Amino acid sequence: MRGFIGNTDFDWCRFLAAQSGVDEVNFWQPSGGGGRFVALQPGEPFFFRLKSPHNAIAGFGYFASYSALPAWLAWESFGRTNGAADFDEMRARIERYRRRSGAAGSGRPGDYSIGCIMVASPVFFPQELWVREPAGWAHIMPYADGGTHDVTNGLLLRSDIHRLFDLGYVTVTPEYRFKVSDTLAEDSHNGRTYYAERDRRARLAWGECEVCRGGAVWCCAGCRIVGQA
């Protein structure tokens, strides 16, 4: 089973967390996204990640369906489960994000397509139970190179190993083995601590998964954890 972490608007989350009896919510995206959402299959978990300054998982639900709709129709269809008290509030929030991304405007208010990710059985945690983002969370395939925030694209690394990973000195192979480049010793004149861990098998957050043997570490499915004390 896969999961997906969606960057979440704080006001959207706060509004819905205060509602009762909500069995499905519209996790809208400010643009239509080409009319597709292929990261999940129905029934797979979708996590609500609050952006800075909160940087925490504040809840989750289960992906149900995706559609691209005009913003006004999304309001007519889903109402307050769009995470706002009224259409004007929802539209103002969407248009703020659209301006930031440089998306084209529209002559008629709300007459532009937005992505509607329907998430069933949503759960919103009280603030004291938010799951804070670990300092050592690293993307396997960098976001700038097309990597996603999907948990299957993640490594939980000790902070010093995270830095070496970003610099290309260490990696995890498709066989889940921790590897250290010989250039680390050449460049730093040290590295004994890391070489002692060479070929150590990474701990998996869950069981074995089907692995692509093509050689690129980001082809591997499953969240891996290395460098733990």
144 and 105 fall within a common domain:
no
H helices of the chain, in order, are: 10-17, 71-78, 87-101, 159-167, 183-188, 192-195
Query: Is residue 44 domain-shared with residue 94, that is, in the same domain?
Result: yes
- Chosen domain end from 109, 131, 153: 131
Quick one: average pLDDT of 150-161? 73
Q: What is the CATH number of the domain that holds 40?
A: 2.30.130.30
Q: What is the pLDDT of residue 99?
A: 87
Structurally, how many domains does the chain consist of? 2
Both 157 and 86 in one domain: the answer is no
Both 168 and 153 in one domain: the answer is yes
Output the CA torsion 201→204→208→210 (10° steps): -90
**Whether residues 109 and 60 fall in one domain:** yes
pLDDT digits (tens, 9 = 90+) for 10-35: 999 999 999 999 999 999 999 875 66
pLDDT at residue 52 tops 70:
yes
Give Dmax over CA atoms of the chain in angstroms. Answer: 64
Please tell me the predicted confidence (pLDDT) of residue 197. Answer: 81
Residue among 37, 46, 36 at smallest CA distance from 2 = 46
CB proximity list for 60: less than 8 A, separation 6 or greater:
45, 46, 47, 48, 122, 123
Residue 21: how many CB atoms within 10 A of its CB?
4
Confidence bin at 180 (pLDDT 50/70/90): confident
Question: Domain residues for 212?
Answer: 134-226
The Cα–Cα gap between 204 and 16 comes to: 34
Q: Decide: pTM greater than 0.75.
A: no
**What pLDDT was estimated at residue 139?**
74
Q: Which residue did the predictor score with more confidence, 134 or 51?
A: 51
Comparing 112 with 203, the larger pLDDT belongs to: 112
C-alpha closest to that of 60 among 139, 147, 137, 119? 119
Quick one: 19 and 117 in the same domain?
yes
101 and 145 in a single domain? The answer is no
Q: For 102-136, how does the pLDDT look when each residue is reduced to its tens digit (9 = 90+)?
A: 776 655 666 789 999 999 999 999 998 898 766 56
Q: Do residues 106 and 139 share a domain?
A: no
CA angle 165, 169, 170 (to 5 degrees): 55
pLDDT attached to residue 136: 62
What pLDDT, in 10s, does the model give residues 193-202? 788 888 888 7
Q: What's the pLDDT at 222?
A: 32
183 pLDDT above the threshold of 80:
yes
In this prediction, residues 32-47 reach a mean pLDDT of 84
- Of the candidates 102, 131, 160, which is a domain's last residue? 131
pLDDT of residue 210 exceeding 50:
no
**Residue 54 shares a structural domain with residue 138:** no
What is the overall mean pLDDT for the chain? 80
| Residue 227 pLDDT | 37
Residue with tokens 């809208």: 28
In three-state secondary structure terms, 49 is: strand
Point out the domain boundary residue: 73, 101, 131. 131
